[in-house]
């Protein structure tokens, strides 16, 4: 989606309705800085307020995501294009989040190993030799908890038995047996336990 085009369209529709950025922001319960970022193409409205925004601007969601008014005869085609574009953006965002998981875990593990190595081979007081490995464990466990949270939110898990894709709770993911990003969990749809792989989209 073209955020610059969408931003200009939001600004145009806002002006058509005789509203300032501050007035629109107040109606939506957000800051006028957020509206300004939309209109300059720096960000997009959150999905949770899109319908309300469209209502105030007298447009529909497909027109908002297209950045222009849509004629009735081309509405279905544009709706499909917008859904595909949103699906691609969600998939890309999930990919970036999963990459971030590695950037959190790998440095934490490396730092922890360095601290353990230092504690094992460098001359130092006994109390410090005990503290360093403990601190290393804290770093690794903290990184692991954050990484699991990222993995849980990015994408879905696919049940091996029925194919249902869903987002489990943080603790379901955290406490499950796992091999990489495949976890042994109970599917909420069929109720069976299986090794469920991480997928990026709700459906293929």
Instruction: Name 182's Cβ contacts closer than 8 Å, sequence gap at least 6.
Output: 195, 196, 197, 198
Rounded to two decimals, the pTM is: 0.56
Do residue 46 and residue 135 come from a single domain?
no
Name the band, by pLDDT with cuts 50, 70 and 90, for residue 57.
very high
- The mean per-residue pLDDT over the stretch 46-51 comes to 83
Distance CA 110, CA 116 (A): 10
Residue 194 has pLDDT above 90, yes or no: yes
DSSP 4-18: HHHHHHHHHHHHHTT
Do residue 141 and residue 172 come from a single domain?
yes
Evaluate whether residue 83 is within a structural domain: no
Do residue 109 and residue 163 come from a single domain?
yes
Do residue 111 and residue 56 come from a single domain?
no
Residue 83, classed as helix, strand or coil, is helix
Do residue 180 and residue 127 come from a single domain?
yes
Domain extent at residue 48: 3-70
Specify the pLDDT at position 98.
Answer: 87
Do residue 36 and residue 135 come from a single domain?
no
Q: pLDDT tens across 88-126, in order? A: 787 888 888 888 888 999 999 999 999 999 998 988 899
Q: Which strands form 193-199's sheet, in the order they lie side by side? A: 165-166, 156-158, 193-199, 182-186, 177-179
Tell me the Cα Rg of the chain: 24
Specify the pLDDT at position 61.
Answer: 86
Do residue 95 and residue 195 come from a single domain?
yes
Q: Which of 12-26, 68-82, 144-158 has the lowest mean pLDDT?
A: 68-82
Q: CATH code at 47? A: 1.10.260.40
Do residue 167 and residue 97 come from a single domain?
yes
Number of domains in the chain: 2
Do residue 120 and residue 66 come from a single domain?
no
Instruction: Name 69's Cβ contacts closer than 8 Å, sequence gap at least 6.
Output: 59, 63
């Amino acid at each position: 989606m073209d955020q610059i085009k969408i931003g200009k369209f939001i600004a145009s529709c806002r002006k058509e309705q005789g509203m300032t950025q501050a007035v629109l922001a107040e109606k939506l319960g957000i800051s006028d800085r957020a509206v300004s970022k939309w209109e300059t193409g720096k960000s997009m409205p959150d999905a949770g307020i899109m319908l309300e925004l469209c209502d105030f601007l007298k447009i529909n969601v497909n027109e908002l995501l297209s950045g222009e008014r849509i004629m009735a005869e081309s509405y279905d085609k544009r709706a499909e294009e917008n859904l595909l574009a949103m699906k691609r953006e969600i998939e890309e965002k999930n990919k970036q989040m999963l990459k971030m998981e590695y950037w959190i875990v790998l440095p934490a593990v490396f730092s922890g190993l360095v601290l353990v190595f230092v504690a094992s081979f460098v001359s130092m007081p006994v109390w410090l030799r005990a503290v360093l490995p403990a601190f290393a464990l804290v770093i690794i466990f903290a990184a692991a908890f954050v990484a699991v949270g990222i993995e849980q939110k990015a994408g879905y898990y696919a049940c091996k038995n029925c194919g249902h894709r869903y987002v489990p709770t943080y603790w379901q993911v955290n406490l499950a047996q796992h091999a990489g990003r495949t976890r042994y969990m109970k599917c909420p749809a069929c109720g069976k336990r299986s090794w469920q792989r991480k997928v990026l989209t709700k459906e293929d």
